[in-house]
Structure 1
Amino acid sequence: MAMRAPSALIVLLLVGAFSSVIPYTRPPPRDTLFIGRADYESPTTPEQVHVSVVGQNQMRISWVTDDPASATVDYGTSSGTYTSSAMANTTSYSYESYQSGQIYDAVIGPLQPSTVYYYRCSGDSSLEFNFTTPPAQFPVNLVIIGDLGQTGWTQTTLQHIAASNYDMLLLPGDLSYADYDEPRWDSYGRLVEPLASQRPWMMTAGNHDVEKKVPPAPFTAYNARWRMPFEQSGSDSNLFYSFNVAGVHVIMLCSYTAFDEDSDQYAWLQNDLQSVDRAATPWVFVLLHAPWYNSNYAHQGEEASVGMKQAMEGLVYQYSVDVVFAGHVHAYERFTRVYNGEADNCGPVYITIGDGGNREGLATDYMDPQPEISLFREASFGHGELDIFNGTTAFWTWHRNDDDESVVADSVWLTTLASNPNCSSS
C-alpha cells in the first residue's frame, strides 16, 4: 500500500487542525433505494455475498439463496481454479408474513495474508467472486462508516469507498434501516455486495437493526445475516466481540443490550481489555453505535449513550483505548482525547461518523458555542479512512461524500497511547 506524499499530509493536517467547520452548501435529499432480485437469476443463485474475518487466517463467506442449494464454498488463488472447499452452515427465519431465504455461512482457511482468493458459492458454479485478505502487519488501511442505509447518498459513499485502497471496513451500527420491513434486509445485502464480497466488513448493531415487533428476538435478522466472530474472543453474543488485524485490536460493543457493571457485556469487555497484548497489537479501537460524546442536539440524553458511558468509560480509559468510533448522530464530529468530560492526554479520541447515507437525513443542529473538547464538526454525509503506518503512528481523514466527490474535509495525525509512558494500559 502506497503512503501519501508527506507534503499532502501536512496540508491535510493543517486543514483539520485550524478549521472547526468548513463552509459547505448541502445539496437536496436523494431517493431511498430498493434493490430487487434480478428476474433472470435462478432461485439457487447466490446473492448478498459478503465476507468477514475469523481469527488470524480464516474468512467467513456469507450468502443467501431463495431455494436451498448445496452448501459449500470452493476457493483458490487462481481464477477458475479451486483447490479447497468448505461446508456451510444454513439458517433461515420468519417474521410475520416474511420468510427469509436460505442464509449460509462457511469459514474457509487457513489463508495467506495480503492475497487475492477466488471463490464460488454453491448454487451457481459460473458465478465467481474474489476477496483480498488483510495484511498480517503494518501498514493497514481501515474504512469506518456508520448509519449507511440505502439512499442516493449511500451510493455515493460506496463509490468513494470502492475507489480507496482499503483493507477492511468497520461499521458501528445501523446497516439497512429495515426497521422490521424485512425485504429491505435483502435489498441492503444486494446493494453492498460488490464491496462486501471483496473486503471483510466487520460491524456491530444499531437501533435501526432491531426488530421492534416481537417475536422474533430483537436482533434476529442482524444475527442471521451478519454473523461475526464472537466465539473466538470469548463472547457469547454476536452483538459484542473483538478481533485483531495487522497490529490492531478492534472491540465491537452493543449500545442496545445490557451494559451495566453486572452485565455479560461489561464482564466480557473487562476480560477482553485485560488480555490485550499491546506489544502485539499496540492500537486498540472501540466501536459502538450511540456516542458517549456529542455536541449535536440530536440524541442527547439517551440511556444508550449516557448509561453506557457511565458504566464503561472508566474501563476504556484504564486500558488506554486509542479511539472510540460511534454512529447514531447523522453527522461527523471529532473530539480531542477526553476522559470524564474534559481533555485528557491519556483518554481516547472520540469520533462520531453516523453519516453514511441514511434515509432520515442529516443532524444539522449543533450546540453553540462549540465545546472546547470538540475540534471539528459538520453535518454532511461522508466516510472515514484510518491509515495505520506502524505501531505508533496513524493518519485519520474524513471524506465529505455528499457532493459526489470524495473531498477530505478533516484530518489528524494519531499516536498510540501504548507509546505514552504516562498512560496506563493495565
Structure 2
Amino acid sequence: MEVGLGFLGTFNTKYYYVVGIGHTERKFWFITPEVGPDATYTFGLIGDLGQTYDSNKTLTHYELNPRKGQAVLFVGDLSYADQYPNHDNVYTPLTWLQEELLKVNRSETPWLIILMHSPWYNSYNYHYMEGETMRVMNEPWFSKYRVDVVFAGHVHAYERSERVSNVAYNIVNGICKPVKDQSAPVYITIGDGGNIEGLATNMTEPQPDYSAYREASFGHATFDIKNRTHAYYSWHRNQDGYAVKADSIWFFNRFYHPVDDSTTAKS
C-alpha cells in the first residue's frame, strides 16, 4: 500500500492516515509542527529495534518518558535479513548528498540533522570501519555545510563522539587521525533498541579520544530543539527510571551559535 500526503499548510493540526489492506488496515495520526527558525520540537531516537522482549521494553520505556518526542527518528534495522542473499547493498557515492545540503536554507531550517545506518565513528569491535568508504568520500561535506549531529545504528550499543573530522589525509602528509573540529557534527550511535542479536559488548581499548561516551546498554534518546541556537539531547537506559539521563549534552547550533559545546558533556 502507498500513502501519499500533499502540502500540509496548517501547523498544530491532526492528520489521520491508514496503512494496510482490507482487514489489516490500521489508522495512525500525526500533528503538524510549528514552522519557523525558533520553533520548538522534540524528536525521539530509536535504532535497531527488532521484535524481542528488549525491544518491547525500549518502546515502553520511551512511551513513559515524560519528555518523549513529537516524532521518532528511527535509524534501522527493524527486520534482519542476515541469512538472505544480497542483503548488503554495494556502496555508491552519494551524489545527491551535496545537492541536498546546498538546498538547506539555515535561516528557515537552522538545525541540520543527518540519519544513516552504519556509523562512521565506531569504537566497538562490531561492524568496525564498515562505513569507512562512505565516510572518506562524503565527510568533507558535513564540515563544509556545518551539520549539527549525525545519528546512526547498526552497532548494537550506544556511543557519542566529540565534534571531530578526519578529512586532512593525503598521500604526502599521512595525517589519518580524527581531530576536533567545531565545524563538524557530533556522531551518535544509537543501535541499542533491543534487536535479537543482543548487545555489542566488545569495545576497542583504550577508548579513542574522539569517543566522548560509550556503553553497551539498551535504550532510547531524545533531541529537544529549544530554538535556533540551542537543543538538549539525552540518552536513557532501559534499566533506569523513566526520567533518568545516562548521558546528556547541550547542543549549540553550528550555524547560529558555533561555540565549543564539548565542555558541556556529561558522562
Alignment TM-score > 0.5, same fold: yes
Q: Decide whether aligned partners of structure 1 residues 257 and 371 sit closer, same or farther in structure 2, where only a CA change above 3 A counts.
A: same
Q: What corresponds to 2:58 in structure 1? A: 157
Give me the whole-angstrom Cα distance separating, in 1, the residues matched to 2:41 and 2:135.
29
Q: Which amino acid aligns with 2:12?
A: S
Q: What corresponds to 1:380 in structure 2? A: 217
Q: What corresponds to 1:258 in structure 2? A: 91
Deviation at 1:256, TM superposition (A): 3.8
Q: Which amino acid aligns with 1:132?
A: I
Q: What corresponds to 1:286 in structure 2? A: 114
Q: Which amino acid aligns with 2:156?
A: H
2:152 counterpart of 1:319: no
2:251 counterpart of 1:418: no
2:132 counterpart of 1:132: no
The within-5 A match list for 1:350-369 is 350-369=187-206
- SS class of match (2:119): coil
1:401 and 1:407 in contact (8 A); partners too: no
- SS class of match (1:313): helix
Q: What corresponds to 2:183 in structure 1? A: 346
2:186 counterpart of 1:337: no
Give me the whole-angstrom Cα distance separating, in 1, the residues matched to 2:18 and 2:135.
43
Give me the whole-angstrom Cα distance separating, in 1, the residues matched to 2:210 and 2:4.
45
Give me the whole-angstrom Cα distance separating, in 1, the residues matched to 2:8 and 2:98.
30
Q: Structure 1 unaligned runs (5+)?
A: 1-102, 180-207, 219-254, 261-265
Structure with max Cα Rg: 1
Give me the whole-angstrom Cα distance separating, in 1, the residues matched to 2:248 and 2:259.
25
Give me the whole-angstrom Cα distance separating, in 1, the residues matched to 2:22 and 2:71.
27
Q: What corresponds to 2:102 in structure 1? A: 274
TM-score by length of 1: 0.52
Deviation at 1:373, TM superposition (A): 1.5
Q: What corresponds to 1:114 in structure 2? A: 12
Deviation at 1:278, TM superposition (A): 1.0
Give me the whole-angstrom Cα distance separating, in 2, the residues matched to 1:319 and 1:127.
40
Deviations 1:235-269 (A, max 9, x none): xxxxxxxxxxxxxxxxxxxx945333xxxxx2210
Q: Structure 2 unaligned runs (5+)?
A: 167-177, 261-267
The within-5 A match list for 1:31-50 is none
Give me the whole-angstrom Cα distance separating, in 2, the residues matched to 1:143 and 1:379.
19
1:156 and 1:402 in contact (8 A); partners too: no
TM-score by length of 2: 0.82
1:400 and 1:406 in contact (8 A); partners too: no
Q: CA RMSD in A?
A: 2.6
| Equivalent of 2:228 in 391, 404, 416 | 391
- SS class of match (1:418): coil
Give me the whole-angstrom Cα distance separating, in 1, the residues matched to 2:117 and 2:106.
25
| Higher share in helix | 1
The alignment-based identity, stated in percent, is 44
Q: Decide whether aligned partners of structure 1 residues 128 and 284 sit closer, same or farther in structure 2, where only a CA change above 3 A counts.
A: closer
Q: Which amino acid aligns with 2:210?
A: I
Give me the whole-angstrom Cα distance separating, in 2, the residues matched to 1:407 and 1:415.
22
Give me the whole-angstrom Cα distance separating, in 2, the residues matched to 1:352 and 1:370.
15
1:114 and 1:136 in contact (8 A); partners too: no
Deviation at 1:131, TM superposition (A): 2.9
Q: Decide whether aligned partners of structure 1 residues 419 and 109 sit closer, same or farther in structure 2, where only a CA change above 3 A counts.
A: closer
Q: What corresponds to 2:208 in structure 1? A: 371
Q: What corresponds to 1:175 in structure 2? A: 78
